[in-house]
Amino acid sequence: MKLYYAADSCALAAHIALEEAGLPHTLARIDHATKLTADGDSLLSVNPKGCVPALVLDDGQVLTESAAILQYIADLAPAARLAPPAGSFGRYRLAEWLNFVSSELHQVFMRFTIADAPPAVLAGTVQKLSNRYAYAAKVLGAQPYLLGDDYSVADTFLYVTTRWCKSVGIDIAQWPSLARHAAAIAARPGVVRALAAEGLGG
Ligand X SMILES: N[C@@H](CCC(=O)N[C@@H](CS)C(=O)NCC(=O)O)C(=O)O
User: Is 20 a residue that touches ligand X (CB under 6 A)?
Assistant: no
Q: Crossing angle for the helix pair 153-162 and 176-186, nearest 10 degrees?
A: 110
Q: Give 3 or 51: the residue with its C-beta nearer to ligand X.
A: 51
Opening angle at CA 148, ends 143 and 154, nearest 5: 110
How far out from the chain centre does Cα 75 lie? 17
Q: In angstroms, rounded to a whole number, what is the distance separating the alpha carbons of residues 18 and 198?
A: 13
Among 16, 17, 46, 52, binds ligand X (CB under 6 A): 52
User: Is 198 a residue that touches ligand X (CB under 6 A)?
Assistant: no
Among 3, 28, 51, 137, binds ligand X (CB under 6 A): 51
3-class SS at 54?
strand
User: Is 56 a residue that touches ligand X (CB under 6 A)?
Assistant: no
Q: What is the C-alpha end-to-end distance of the chain, expressed in Å?
A: 25
Tell me the window of 5-13, 82-90, 145-153, 181-189 that interacts with ligand X (CB under 6 A): 5-13
User: Is 50 a residue that touches ligand X (CB under 6 A)?
Assistant: yes
Window 152-191: residues binding ligand X (CB under 6 A): none
Window 99-158: residues binding ligand X (CB under 6 A): 102
User: Is 65 a residue that touches ligand X (CB under 6 A)?
Assistant: yes
Q: How far is the CB of 109 from ligand X (least distance, A)?
A: 8
> Which of 68, 64, 33 minimizes the C-alpha distance to 47?
64
**Contact predicate 191/159, CB 8 Å:** yes
Rounded to the nearest 5°, which phi and psi values hold at 145? -130, 165
Tell me the window of 3-11, 15-23, 76-84, 185-193 that interacts with ligand X (CB under 6 A): 3-11
User: Is 9 a residue that touches ligand X (CB under 6 A)?
Assistant: yes
Tell me the window of 15-23, 46-54, 142-150, 192-200 that interacts with ligand X (CB under 6 A): 46-54
- Which 8-state DSSP code applies to residue 49? T
Q: How many residues does the chain have?
A: 202
Residues that bind ligand X (CB under 6 A): 6, 9-10, 32, 50-53, 65-66, 102
